[in-house]
Structure 1
Amino acid sequence: MVSIRTFLNHKIGALLLLALAMGLIYNPLTKFPFTFCVIIAFILLATYAQSQSLDELRFRKLSGADFLRILVCFAALEAVMDFVVQPAINLAFNEPADYSAFAALEGNTGKYLKYLIYMWISAAFGEELLFRAFAFAQLERIIGNRKAVIVVLSAVLFSLPHLYQGYAGLATTFVFGLAFGALFQSFKNIWINIIVHGLIDTLFLTLAYFGYLSFYA
Structure 2
Amino acid sequence: MMGGLDRENIWKLISIVELLIAGTVIVLDLFIPTIIILGIIAISLLIRKEKLQTLGFRKNSSWLNMVITILVLVVVWTLLHLSIFMPVLNHLTGTTQDLSAFENLKGNFNQLLFFLVLTWTLAAFGEEIVYRGYLQKRIQGLFEDTRTGIILAVGISSLLFGLAHTEQGTIGVILTFLDAIFFSLIKIHYENNLWAAIIAHGASNTIGLLGFFFLGPVYGLW
Q: Same fold per TM (> 0.5)?
A: yes
- One-letter code aligned to 1:170: V
Q: Secondary structure at the match of 1:193?
A: helix
Unmatched runs of 5 consecutive residues or more in structure 1: none
Equivalent in the alignment of 1:92: 92
- One-letter code aligned to 1:59: F
Query: Following superposition of structure 1 onto structure 2, how do residues 44-123 of structure 1 map, counting pairs within 5 Å?
Result: 44-50=42-48, 52-62=50-60, 63=62, 64-123=64-123
Shift of the 79–195 alpha-carbon distance from structure 1 to 2, 3 Å rule, reads same
- Contact map agreement 2:70 2:196 (CA 8 A) in 1: yes
The percentage of counterpart residues that share the same residue type is 26
Equivalent in the alignment of 2:173: 170
- For the residues of structure 2 that align with 1:176 and 1:163, how far apart are their CA atoms? 14
Shift of the 153–39 alpha-carbon distance from structure 1 to 2, 3 Å rule, reads closer
> Which segment drifts farther, 190-199 or 147-156?
147-156
- Contact map agreement 2:137 2:153 (CA 8 A) in 1: no
- For the residues of structure 2 that align with 1:178 and 1:51, how far apart are their CA atoms? 30
- For the residues of structure 2 that align with 1:141 and 1:173, how far apart are their CA atoms? 25
- For the residues of structure 1 that align with 2:49 and 2:117, how far apart are their CA atoms? 31
Taking structure 1 as the reference length, what is the TM-score of the superposition? 0.83
- For the residues of structure 2 that align with 1:181 and 1:8, how far apart are their CA atoms? 28
- Contact map agreement 1:89 1:172 (CA 8 A) in 2: no
Deviation at 1:199, TM superposition (A): 0.8
- For the residues of structure 2 that align with 1:149 and 1:42, how far apart are their CA atoms? 21
Shift of the 44–69 alpha-carbon distance from structure 1 to 2, 3 Å rule, reads farther
Q: Secondary structure at the match of 1:84?
A: helix
- For the residues of structure 2 that align with 1:196 and 1:46, how far apart are their CA atoms? 26
Deviation at 1:211, TM superposition (A): 3.6
Equivalent in the alignment of 1:212: 216
Unmatched runs of 5 consecutive residues or more in structure 2: none
2:184 is aligned with 1:181: yes
1:198 counterpart (196, 202, 216)? 202
- For the residues of structure 2 that align with 1:44 and 1:60, how far apart are their CA atoms? 19
- One-letter code aligned to 2:120: W
- One-letter code aligned to 2:203: L
> Which segment drifts farther, 135-144 or 91-100?
135-144
Question: How many residues are matched?
Answer: 209
Equivalent in the alignment of 1:43: 41
- For the residues of structure 1 that align with 2:78 and 2:91, how far apart are their CA atoms? 18
Q: Secondary structure at the match of 2:104?
A: helix
- One-letter code aligned to 2:86: Q
Deviation at 1:15, TM superposition (A): 2.3
- Contact map agreement 2:96 2:219 (CA 8 A) in 1: no
Computed over aligned residues only, the root mean square deviation of the Cα atoms, in angstroms, reads: 2.5
- For the residues of structure 1 that align with 2:180 and 2:169, how far apart are their CA atoms? 16
- One-letter code aligned to 1:189: N
Q: Secondary structure at the match of 2:164?
A: helix
- Contact map agreement 2:140 2:152 (CA 8 A) in 1: no
